[in-house]
Amino acid sequence: MIPTLDTLKLRLIPPSIDCYELYKAFYTNANASEMYGGPIGIEQVWARLKADIGSWHLLGYGVWVIQKKSDNSLIGTCGFWKGKDWPKELTWWVMPEGRGKGVATEASKAAIFHAYNKFKWNSVETYMNDDNIAARSLVEKLGGKKVDRKAFPDGLSRDIYQLPKSA
């Protein structure tokens, strides 16, 4: 069973078919999704949602959908992702209207806490493309420390950051 995580302002809920419109709004919006491989077509959006749902069943972890407690609206995702032959990472995306309001920070702290205390992981890491300044800033705000630089299957090299238990 996929847990639900509660924070002060947010609820991290399991992804479901009910999240399709959120995924579509994000991934078909060029500005919103440019750092996440977008924009993409609706068949690819559907595949991403199915992959996020399936990750929990295949790997025992995945991303949660971020729900604002104030109005129950869905605003993004946060959790853990691992592509084929890619390292496991903390990841998130937030709709443009939710950015700059601490949503990704609050959700990431909950996910990191869960990874260390419930999954019992020894390490939580993340990485981003070199030009993703917003992601790098968030990781540094969370106390992430650069521990490595690796070449990835897509031919790009990325810095690897380890996130502390007390993020």
pLDDT along the chain (167 residues), means of 10: 97 98 98 94 98 97 98 98 96 97 98 98 97 96 98 96 92
Tell me the per-residue pLDDT of 122-137, one tens digit each, with 9 for 90 and over.
Answer: 999 999 999 999 999 9
As a whole number of Å, the end-to-end CA separation of the chain is 25
Which residue segments constitute the domains of the chain, with CATH numbers given? 5-122 (3.40.630.30)
Would you state the pLDDT for residue 167? Answer: 74
Smallest Cα–Cα separation from 121: which of 83, 59, 165?
A: 165
Smallest Cα–Cα separation from 19: which of 59, 58, 46?
A: 46
pTM of the model: 0.96
Phi then psi for residue 137, to 5 deg, are: -60, -45
Alpha carbon separation from 25 to 42, 62, 66, 88, 144 (Å, rounded): 10, 20, 14, 26, 30
Would you state the pLDDT for residue 81? Answer: 97
Tell me the C-alpha distance between 74 and 24, whole Å: 12
Smallest Cα–Cα separation from 91: which of 7, 20, 158?
A: 158
Would you state the pLDDT for residue 166? Answer: 85
Structure tokens at 151: 């070449």
Which residues are CB-neighbours of 3 under 8 A, at least 6 positions away? 114, 118
Structure tokens at 4: 């639900």
Which residue do the tokens 């440019």 mark?
34
